[in-house]
Amino acid sequence: MQTQLLKIDSRHIDTEVIKKAAELIRQGELVAFPTETVYGLGADALRPDASKKIYAAKGRPSDNPLIVHIQEIKELALIAKEVPETALKLAAAFWPGPLTIIVWKNDRVPYETTGGMETVAVRMPNHAAALALIKESGCLIAAPSANTSGKPSPTEASHVAFDMNGRIPLILDGGPVGIGLESTIVDLTEQRPVILRPGYITKEMLEEALGVEVFMDPGILAGEQETGRQSGLKPKAPGMKYRHYAPKAELVLVEGDMASVVKSINELIKTKKKEGLKVGVIATDETKEQYLSDFTVSIGAREDKDAIARHLYKILREFDQSEVDIIYSESFAAKGLFEAVMNRLKKAAGHRILYV
């Protein structure tokens, strides 16, 4: 299959391009498109055959459900068994935006889209091209991140093309995304709201909007501590249990105060170099000059959390193009947006963490 790449500018939407993409969606085909979080791989969410194509193109396990994208809050009622009060509060506060909610699904939503689950994940993206595509297609669009399963999510159209060339008919190129991490997922099907995946919308922001305490899925917290691997707790979002975002080279996180981290990483670099290995480092603007590595990339300045989130996946992909055998990364105190950054970094590292 030939993959076409068409530019789309959010400030001046080219209606011809959107019409073409919308027609493909209506035919049950796949279209990759930009959102504010990462690029999505879209298909008609209510057609089992279309959803199945997403799993095939990504090589995604079939038990890992898709997020359904809508372009108006009232479309939630088209797929939810009932719309809880909490959903309306969160929609009013954060939609369009980087928040996915989980509600009970109705019979319109095929199990192919929900990975066999009775619940459905829904989001309204804050991106003019994405909203225009959903509207023009007249469909609700199921869209996971547009990467090959297991790889870092795409934050630029070139990342999508690298993974999906020849597998899908069309990629809409809207330039680099604004946020760069996948949406926060909050489960509204239990007594209490539970975060299944941390993201740009933090626990504190959700609590302020809802006026009640919001909990973190114990399965995520357990998975983030090495000991959690033996605790038997599984994350509730099926996708969170899979190895993810991993670069080809082994990635190791180093945690501690800044001076100790730099010193320890440099000692490790010396040892690895003696073994004939090439070493990469994920540094920050504050430390990037201090490393003896073969390939050092700064993820951004520590006080600019947004930039660090935005750069993470691009950097992980860049390391795949470099020849390094092992990568050491600095860590961040897991608060606010850094909670999401650390969640992704730990998964990318397969939970290899050195405390210094």
For binding to ligand AMP (CB under 6 A), which residues are involved?
A: 64-65, 67, 102, 114, 117, 119-121, 144-145, 182, 185, 196-197, 236-240
Report d(CA 94, CA 241) in Å as an integer: 26
Report d(CA 204, CA 216) in Å as an integer: 11
Are 129 and 177 contacting, i.e. CB atoms less than 8 angstroms apart?
no
How many Cβ atoms sit within 10 Å of the Cβ of residue 207? 13
Report d(CA 212, CA 192) in Å as an integer: 9
Minimal distance in Å, beta carbon 219 to ligand AMP?
Answer: 11
Segment lying near Mg ion (by CB under 5 A), choices 143-151, 217-225, 269-277, 296-304: 143-151
Q: Decide which of Mg ion, ligand AMP, none touches 64; Cβ closer than 5 to 8 Å per partner kind.
A: ligand AMP
Minimal distance in Å, beta carbon 153 to ligand AMP?
Answer: 7
Secondary structure of residue 190 in the 3-state scheme? coil
Let me know how long the chain is: 356
Minimal distance in Å, beta carbon 54 to ligand AMP?
Answer: 10
Q: Decide which of ligand AMP, Mg ion, none touches 238; Cβ closer than 5 to 8 Å per partner kind.
A: ligand AMP
Whichever of 224 and 255 has its CB closer to ligand AMP, that residue is: 224
Minimal distance in Å, beta carbon 307 to ligand AMP?
Answer: 21
Whichever of 44 and 255 has its CB closer to ligand AMP, that residue is: 44
- Whether the ω angle into residue 84 lies within 30 degrees of 0, i.e. cis, is no
Minimal distance in Å, beta carbon 239 to ligand AMP?
Answer: 2
Whichever of 186 and 265 has its CB closer to Mg ion, that residue is: 186
Minimal distance in Å, beta carbon 144 to Mg ion?
Answer: 5
Among 145, 155, 296, 329, binds Mg ion (CB under 5 A): 145
Give the DSSP per-residue string, 100-138.
Answer: EEEEEB-TTS-HHHHTT-SEEEEE--S-HHHHHHHHHHT
Query: Which residues lie closer than 8 Å to 2 by C-beta, 6 or more apart?
Result: 166, 169
Whichever of 87 and 237 has its CB closer to ligand AMP, that residue is: 237
Q: Decide which of Mg ion, ligand AMP, none touches 112; Cβ closer than 5 to 8 Å per partner kind.
A: none
Are 180 and 195 contacting, i.e. CB atoms less than 8 angstroms apart?
no
DSSP lists the bridge partners of residue 153 as none
Site residues for Mg ion per CB under 5 A: 144-145
